[in-house]
Amino acid sequence: MGSDRVVLATRNAHKVAELNRILRSAGFTGELVGLDEFPGAPDVPETGSTFADNALLKARAIAAYTRLPAVSDDSGLTVHALNGMPGILSARWAGKHGDDRANLELVLGQLADIDGREAAFVCVAALALPDGSREWTATGVLPGSLTRAPRGANGFGYDPIFVPDGMTTTTAELAPADKDAISHRGRAFRAIAPVVAAL
């Protein structure tokens, strides 16, 4: 198909820069743009029941709107003792979307009397073509466990209470480049990058 432009379904410049670095290392020579280039692009409701459902909903809608191949992702925290929750509800676990502190405190409260603290960050990246002919997904998982109190000032969301397996620091105590190297989002984007590069 030889696409030289691909859109990432986000207005977050950091995500665009991160995916651009990953795509370059996979051999992509085209241009990656974010939704800032498309002010009228729709906000796509995340109504799916899985990370893959939500990532594909966004990729399909943005590909159809922009007429470009579109990449999107959906991610969250899964906690073993909470039967995989908050999962797709991670950003609004405490009720209001994006209240990181309330979400984190609610999870810690729910685990207060539980010894098992196994958890994982999960991300599904999706790629959809504008003609609807093909779509792909790739999953990135970062296994770990949860602390009993927040530590660290880097990162966002549940980073201050998440310790990756084999480490003693939370993801909020890692330098951004070190977190990118192991993150669930980085893993998912690196897995889908060769597909984008081959378009």
Q: Where are the domains of the chain?
A: 5-197
43 is an active site residue: no
State residue 17's pLDDT score. Answer: 87
Q: How far apart are CA 186 and CA 62, in angstroms?
A: 21
What are the helix (H) ranges across 35-171?
51-66, 100-110
Selecting among 74, 113, 178, 180, the annotated active-site residue is 74
Question: Is 5-197 assigned to CATH 3.90.950.10?
Answer: yes
State residue 14's pLDDT score. Answer: 80
Which backbone phi and psi does 99 adopt, to 5 degrees? Answer: -85, 80
State residue 3's pLDDT score. Answer: 62
Q: What pairing do the DSSP bridges indicate for beta strands 5-8 and 31-33? A: parallel
Which backbone phi and psi does 3 adopt, to 5 degrees? Answer: -75, 130
Instruction: Give ∠ CA 125-132-65 in degrees, rounded to 5.
Output: 80
State residue 1's pLDDT score. Answer: 43
DSSP state of 141: E
| β partners of residue 125 | 73, 138
DSSP state of 41: P
Q: How far apart are CA 140 and CA 109, in angstroms?
A: 27
Please enumerate in sequence order all residues whose Cβ is within 8 A of that of 166, keeping only pairs 6 or more positions apart, or say none: none
Tens digit of pLDDT at every position of the chain (199 positions): 446 899 999 988 888 988 888 888 888 999 999 999 999 999 999 899 999 999 999 999 999 999 999 999 999 999 999 999 999 999 999 998 778 999 999 999 999 999 999 999 999 999 999 999 999 999 999 999 999 999 999 888 999 999 999 999 999 999 988 988 899 999 999 999 999 999 9
